Structure 1
Amino acid sequence: MTDLHRSESVVAERKLAVIAELFLRRTAEVESDGAWTSTAHEVVEAEIGAALTMGRAAAGRLIGLGMSLRTRLHATREAMARGDLDMYRVRLIEDATANVSDDWIGEVEHQLLEQVLAPPRSGGTGLTGRRLTNAANRIIARLDPAGVRAKREKAQADRFVGVCAAEDGMCRILGSVPAAQGRAFDARLRELANTVCAKDLRTYEQRRADGLSALVDGAGFVQCECGRVDCGQRSRIATTARKPLVHLIMLDATLAGGDEPAYLDGYGIVDAAHAREIAADADVEPVPAPSSVVPTTYRPGAVLDTWMRVLAGGCEWLHCDVAAWNTDLDHHRPFDHSDPAAGGPTVAGNMTAYCRNHHRLKHSGHWKVTADGDIELVAPTGHRYRTRSSGLLGAGRSDAGGRDHDADRDRDHAAAAVRRRTRAQNTEARIRAERRRRRAHLDAVRRRSPGAQASGACAADEPSPF
């Protein structure tokens, strides 16, 4: 088992090295062609995602780790190549040392690996998890105080709330918010859970979950489900519930009681009974097929817009889960603004839904898109990947109008959309800002420390007093 684990680390290091090399090559190509709308990072994300069957975020994390090993953490890379460090511990080291200056990273890494890779013959067991992170922070605080990650500030900057699909018609809500906000949220759910009478048969946890709906609707209380006519909670006057915009696509037969599943935008397939429950309190609108008359306008009309999103089911790039109503509708064959009748018609067969990131990538001219019902993406390496629309009616899409596009025209189209700053520049700016805040904090502590007036502040090149 140990040998297999070491072999896995060796292979992982080689994979990260290949990813880093690919990123550097694409960076050189992108920098020599300033008209691209997509950064090298986005280009490589797409290539890795297609080749390794993963989403954009996972591919991006591999790029970041591979580049850290190539440019900063040389000893860590060597240890991983020997099989001495696995992917988990390498990620911990990368995260802990992200703000260490180039002047100190070599020494910090050397001292840290002495503890992380403590040889068994000397009685050491190595470090992992929180102990590894703590060891890194102690070393960095001693050698490069400004490089200690401002934990609370970083956590504040990384706050988020996400909703992701789960099984059986459910979703999971996850997030990271400031402690005070989280405690207030928890207390409010507790209050809402207790707005029903004692005869309500739901568990406390179920009532807390139902409290989320009350928060979204603005109702201010959870509807009691005791079923008693004399329930004291029935006298509550509910405010008019706000109806969030949610798109549920279903066939007429399903709405009438059939078993054909429906499609919930941003989630996926839901069973027929669940779909009818959702539709019971919704505004139901038919989705007509678009007219056969080819329009001469660039933007699709409301009917075609809805029809395309129903067909697509989401971003139609490989392994992308962005909801259909959060995408752009893109012309495969570019629309001819000077002569709309000459080509690039605004029809279903000439349009595809892409999220903003993959829309930019398609227009970079680096990927080719063709289709014969399905969509085929041709990577810069020549590898071909096929993807099918995920919507309820996606399999019935017509390819009238053609899907091959002119890469040269796409690149010309991109010329005016150059990014102001690359992702690498954004990362460098963030690290500089964190180091400045940390340095300012240390200076303030020094000024408040006893004896500061007598001895004066430490010179910039003197070691930290603590």
Structure 2
Amino acid sequence: MRKVFSVSGSAWSLSSWWGVPSPWPDVAPMFTGGVPAEEIHDADTNDLVGSFVSLQRGQSFLAWQKYQTAAELHARIVGTTPDPHALFLKDSFADCAARIAMALSISQQAAEKVINQALALRDRLPQIAERLRDGRISAELVATVISRTDLVEGHEYAVAVDAEIAAALDLHDGAWSRERVQDMVDRIVFRHDPDGVREHRKRALDARGVWVHDGKDGTSKFTATMAAENARIAMAAVKALAATACEFDGRTKLQRASDAAFALMTGTAFECQCSHPECSAQIPEPAAMPQVDSKVIIHVIADESTVAGTADNAGFLAGHGVISDDHVRDLVARPDAVVLPLVPPGTQPNPDGTITLPAHLPSDPYRPSSALDLFVRIRDGYSVIPGSSVSSFDADLDHVVEYDHRHPMRGGQTAPDNLNAKDRFGHLLKTFGDWVDDQYRDYTGRLRIEFTTPEGLIIPGDPEHLDVLFPGLRRIRFAAPAQAPPRTAESAPIPPTRSQSRVSAKHARRQQERERNRKRRIKEADD
């Protein structure tokens, strides 16, 4: 049996494991961890990965110290009394930031940003500052929280926003991705001040435009700011045109996309650069370029009442994040919009208010029904692979516990808690590697995911699903369709060659791994 480790909570304390001084003597050892250079070759693989986790906690603590120091410097130099030179270019705030800028050899603007972030944590987000200190959020993600809560400054609900974000961070022991943090903060802010979010979007749209930034070696960067849905449509059109080049084209995907973008914007021809006399590329003529847009699909998720205008709940734009109710209705009003309900019209609810839909195709218990397929993609929002920003609508649906095609009743069933969305690489990593994932409901009823590396290291998965944003999803149930055909009689026995196939053996090992993980969770909960 392999050793099982966990990167969650405060399980890692490698400084005490190795018996060496902290790499940062001024920081409490509990926040840091490192593998000594002389012992790194003998270190366990899990120790090395755990060291990364511990080091990030140390970096969070250092960031907290930086902000504490900046806030104290501001208090001493700027103070709380009005600055008589506040209208001058060199006021006391600029004078304070200049000290940091010169000490660190950074720009004045960068130094002022540090001070502003420090003040936001001190005055608006004190509980988030504590989570930064304790390593529950990284320094990079704290900057995201600060910027996304800028609208609550000075409002009476600012304290509640700070507390709710901190509570959400406390519910997850693992790392957060930028997308999940952004969505979590946006939904909390929107519920307290939807008008502020709408005004923020209006200001952002008013600032749209295009720019060219000169680069190095004869290149420049072309930047365009536009509505999120338009950006996704434009990017999809670029990718669609770039994909028309044949397989022998020597350019990378990004190079082809750059050339395709120029062709679309200028109405010039996009050409395959394979140089093969029998090139198979089917590239449309420049005059036909607008037709590419007709194949672009963007997914917007919202509840019926918001679409109808009887409620002001937030929506979700796949690949972008949380959007306001006005933004939802703007998208629904587009002439090319198609509105498809998750629950078919006329579906009768159960006596307890829940709704039951078919889980899989009547003819194939392995294939999820269209309703279950859509439900899982809506619920997950993104690929469940930690750190992945791929939209669930661009990902693969995967059975967490593998489906047994020879004996369907033995294998993982086609059910919502046994399905999740994985980006292609993550899906391949599990299918052809020794990675194990597990998906279960915790004691609060939240859906949790864990990933186990080939060495037995347990990594927590996504902290939230979109059922937090769309609680109506919790009323939907799935069951095998009533008209599903009965199981047919077993065919003639096959002469035995192995006790079980290699695939079956791998599936059995994975199931044993999940059982060990479940027993560990139960023991931790009892303790």
- The TM-score by the shorter chain falls in which range? 0.3 to 0.5
Please identify the structure whose Cα radius of gyration is greater.
1
Greater RCO, 1 or 2 (C-alpha within 8 Å, sep 6+): 1
Instruction: Report the TM-score when normalising by structure 1.
Output: 0.40
